[in-house]
């Protein structure tokens, strides 16, 4: 956090502009509703053209908001990573030889590069999506409720179920990513040892033994990485199943209400669009949560390096 605090003022505009973009996005289905129910229903081409231009305007404004948010998010994340890597490198230079041998060069290199990069990406994506995605999810549910309270009940059922799935998989993968990183460290350490002791290994004819050891460690890393990826990969299909089931229920109920003139065709399409927005944002949120679990594991590993000097 001490590396992030200097960039707080730069970071604040990123989620604000993302929220503004989200607000504009929530208005799009309402404009579509008016085009269908008024413009197409009455064959009013002027009305369709006018509201079509409104859609273009909403898209252009949303693009400007998105690019602005990305600028501030990237500036914050890159500045944070620069300071973190510089301080981490300086701290490693202060470690004694015994401390360096205890930790290992391979893991120090990995933590200063791959782990720091994961934190940079995590901060960037968090500033862009952490507030935007939940806002779209709940905003779309509220907008759907204003159109048709009965159809919006499906939103109220789907969102908690999706939340349980997302956070359940997140909690299950956090410890797995830490194990994957440790396995990678071990594999890199073996590779460095083989490069440093190449002449000794050849002198004692130990090539086959070292090849076997390296193969076992890389296979261990691969199995852990594949296992964690398999659990993470369950997220998208389960999310799709839940949301599409809700969509089927909405379309079935909406079709009945359209026939009874309780709901217009444009309103039904708007409700479907809001559910689709929820699907897209939940997938983004799920990917963000998976990225955050990796970032938290990397943050813990970097913190461990800083703590080595504090123990002296």
Crossing angle for the helix pair 265-310 and 235-259, to the nearest 10 degrees: 160
Supply angle C-alpha 94, 102, 121, rounded to 5: 70
Q: Structural domains in the chain?
A: 5-310 (1.20.1560.10)
Supply angle C-alpha 271, 272, 273, rounded to 5: 90
Mapping DSSP to helix (H, G, I), strand (E, B) and coil, where does residue 248 land?
A: helix
Give the pLDDT of residue 310. Answer: 66
Helices (H), 94-148: 97-103, 105-110, 116-129, 132-147
Output the six-digit token pair for 248.
Answer: 């089927």
Instruction: Let me know if 270 is exposed, middle or buried by CB neighbors in 10 A (0-12, 13-18, 19+).
Output: buried
Q: Is the dihedral of CA 144, 149, 154, 159 positive or negative?
A: positive
| Helix-then-strand count for the chain, H and E | 12, 0
The residues, ordered by sequence, that sit 6+ positions from 93 with a Cβ below 8 Å of its Cβ are none
Q: pLDDT tens digits, the chain, 312 residues: what are they?
A: 889 999 999 999 999 999 999 999 999 999 999 999 888 888 888 999 999 999 999 999 999 999 999 999 999 999 999 999 999 999 988 888 888 877 777 778 888 888 899 899 999 998 988 888 888 888 888 888 888 888 778 878 887 887 788 778 777 777 777 788 778 778 877 877 787 787 888 888 888 888 888 888 888 888 888 888 888 788 778 888 888 888 888 888 888 888 888 888 888 888 888 888 887 787 787 778 778 877 888 888 889 888 886 655
């Amino acid at each position: 956090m001490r590396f992030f605090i200097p960039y707080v003022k730069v970071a604040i505009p990123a989620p604000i502009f993302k929220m503004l973009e989200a607000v504009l996005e929530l208005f799009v289905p309402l404009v579509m509703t008016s085009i269908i129910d008024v413009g197409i229903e009455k064959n009013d081409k002027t009305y369709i053209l006018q509201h079509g231009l409104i859609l273009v305007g909403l898209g252009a404004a949303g693009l400007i908001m998105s690019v602005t948010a990305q600028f501030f998010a990237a500036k914050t994340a890159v500045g944070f990573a620069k300071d973190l890597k510089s301080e981490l490198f300086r701290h490693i230079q202060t470690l004694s030889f015994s401390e360096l041998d205890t930790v290992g060069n391979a893991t120090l290199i990995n933590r200063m590069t791959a782990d720091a990069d994961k934190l940079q990406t995590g901060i960037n994506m968090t500033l862009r999506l952490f507030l935007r995605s939940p806002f779209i999810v709940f905003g779309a549910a509220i907008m759907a409720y204003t159109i048709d309270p009965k159809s919006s009940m499906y939103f109220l059922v789907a969102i908690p179920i999706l939340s349980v799935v997302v956070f359940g998989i997140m909690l299950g993968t956090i410890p797995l990513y830490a194990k994957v990183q440790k396995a990678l460290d071990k594999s890199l350490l073996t590779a460095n040892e083989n490069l440093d002791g190449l002449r000794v290994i050849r002198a004692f004819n130990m090539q086959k033994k070292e090849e076997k050891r390296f193969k076992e460690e890389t296979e261990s890393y691969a199995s852990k990485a594949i296992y964690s990826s398999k659990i993470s990969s369950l997220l998208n299909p389960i999310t799709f199943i839940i949301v599409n089931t809700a969509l089927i229920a909405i379309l079935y109920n909406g079709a009945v209400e359209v026939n009874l003139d309780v709901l217009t065709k444009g309103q039904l399409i708007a409700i479907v669009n809001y559910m689709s927005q929820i699907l897209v944002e939940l997938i983004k949120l799920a990917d963000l949560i998976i990225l955050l679990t990796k970032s938290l594991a990397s943050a813990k590993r970097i913190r461990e390096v800083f703590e080595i000097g504090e123990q002296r």
